[in-house]
Each structure stands twice: as structure tokens, then as C-alpha cells.
Amino acid sequence: KAGVTQTPRYLIKTRGQQVTLSCSPISGHRSVSWYQQTPGQGLQFLFEYFSETQRNKGNFPGRFSGRQFSNSRSEMNVSTLELGDSALYLCASSRTGGGSPLHFGNGTRLTVT
Amino acid sequence: GIQVEQSPPDLILQEGANSTLRCNFSDSVNNLQWFHQNPWGQLINLFYIPSGTKQNGRLSATTVATERYSLLYISSSQTTDSGVYFCAVSQGGSEKLVFGKGTKLTVNP
């Protein structure tokens, strides 16, 4: 069974640009969540989607948005990039959301210059 | 919000040694998971353990929900066990996990 797949693995963007990251969950998993990891703040929750609906959102500005498609694949978008957005962005999926193990992808490392 | 504290922050072992990692949380939870992040950044789920005890090979975990802590035991450590171990919790059946700062484990040959 394929794991959680994230694309691209690495991304370099300039301040002010926008970026879209993609995530394909494990087959059969309906919940997808996104996390940001930085050396200073650690792992922080961004948002969670279940059956195309956003169920939870973390404490991030509106520049961070996401969506989930009918096939459970998810994308997150960051607009007007800032230097502080440089981070490892991790996508995770679970079968039911909240009551089952969370499985992470390898992440997208975003560098903003 | 809920606070998660992990100890120790750093741990250095010789191959073959045993260790215990601790996770304390400030409020009741119904979701607790342990993860291992390897040196390449990959985050692997070790246990989903909101309560009770589980074992998987050389690793085992115990969560005492009423006392708000969880323990991860690593026996006969190997160099491949190196990395950062995270505890994460959530409330209310959501996937909004709150992570601790992690325990960085280094296993020397």
C-alpha cells in the first residue's frame, strides 16, 4: 500500500509569491491534515479536512488556505510568501480522523528568499 | 490550550542500552500518538495509544490517562533508533494534534 505522497519535495520561492503544495493520502483514508515544522516553533497544526470539509484550522493567518477534493487528495496554498514561511510542510492522513493513527508524508521543504 | 512536555530533551546512549522517554500533558485527551522523526525528516507513527499499554518489537508504550502522562520504552537500542521522538495529543476526537518539543535520541555504536 502506498504511503502519503507529497509533491514537490523541495521548493524555493521569492517573497511575495504564492505556492501550492499537494498531498495524496493513503488509499482509503478520508482525513487529511497539514502541519508546519520550523526549528523555532516545532510542529504546528495548520488544518484538517474530512470528506472535502475543513474540520479544524490552526492559528495561522488567512494567507494559508487549503482544500480537499472528492478523491481525498488535498492541496494547501500560501499566498504573499514571507521569509518566516520557510519550513517543512507535512501532510498526514488517517482513516477516520481523530480516532486512528496518523501517517505522515515525507514533506515539502519550502525556502522563501 | 493543552500543553505537552517531553523529557529528557536530549539523550545519548550506547548501542544496546535501554531508555524511557516521558510525555506529560496538561489536560484530558482522547488521542495520544508517539512518532519518530529520522535524520532525513521522515515522521513515522510508532503508537496510537490514548490509554493502556502496547508493544511493537523493541518498543513499548504506556499511557496513564488519569495521571496525564505517557511513557515510551526503547530496549536494546540500535543506531537506527537515532532521531527525534515526538509525543502528540488532541482532544475532542479531532486530528488537531498538539506536539511536544521532542526528545532527541542519539545512539552511538
Cβ count within 10 A of residue B71: 17
| Alpha carbons B99 and B89: distance in angstroms, whole number | 7
pLDDT of residue B56: 97
Q: Which of A73, A69, A111, A57 is nearest to A89 (CA)?
A: A111
Per-residue pLDDT, averaged over B29-46, amounts to 95
Distance from the Cα of B47 to chain A's closest Cα (Å) equals 7
B64 — contact with chain A (CB < 8 Å)? no
Per-residue pLDDT, averaged over B25-51, amounts to 95
Kind and range of the H or E element at B84? strand B83-90
pLDDT of residue B77: 97
Whether A9 has a pLDDT exceeding 80, the answer reads: yes
Per-residue pLDDT, averaged over A61-74, amounts to 96
Extended beta strands in chain A, E state: 5-7, 10-13, 19-24, 31-38, 42-50, 53-57, 64-68, 74-78, 87-94, 103-104, 108-112
CB nearest to B95's CB, from A43, A98, A109: A98
CB nearest to B41's CB, from A45, A103, A107: A107
Q: Identity (one letter) of the amino acid at B65?
A: A
Q: Which residue of A has its CA nearest to B96?
A: A45
Q: Specify burial of residue A71 (Cβ count, 10 A radius: 0-12, 13-18, 19+).
A: exposed
Question: B94: pLDDT confidence band, cut at 50, 70 and 90?
Answer: confident
Tell me the pLDDT tens digit for each residue of B52-75.
Answer: 999 999 999 999 999 999 999 999
Q: Which of A55, A26, A56 is nearest to A44 (CA)?
A: A56
Contacting residues of B for A101, CB less than 8 Å apart: 33, 45, 48
Q: Which of A37, A8, A9 is nearest to B35 (CA)?
A: A37
pLDDT of residue A1: 73
Distance from the Cα of B73 to chain A's closest Cα (Å) equals 19
A98 — contact with chain B (CB < 8 Å)? yes
- Find the range with the poorest average confidence among A50-54, A72-76, B60-64, B102-106: A50-54
Tell me the pLDDT tens digit for each residue of A17-26.
Answer: 999 999 999 9
Distance from the Cα of A106 to chain B's closest Cα (Å) equals 5
pLDDT of residue B95: 79
* Mean pLDDT of all residues belonging to chain B: 96
Extended beta strands in B2-51, E state: 4-7, 10-14, 19-25, 31-37, 43-48
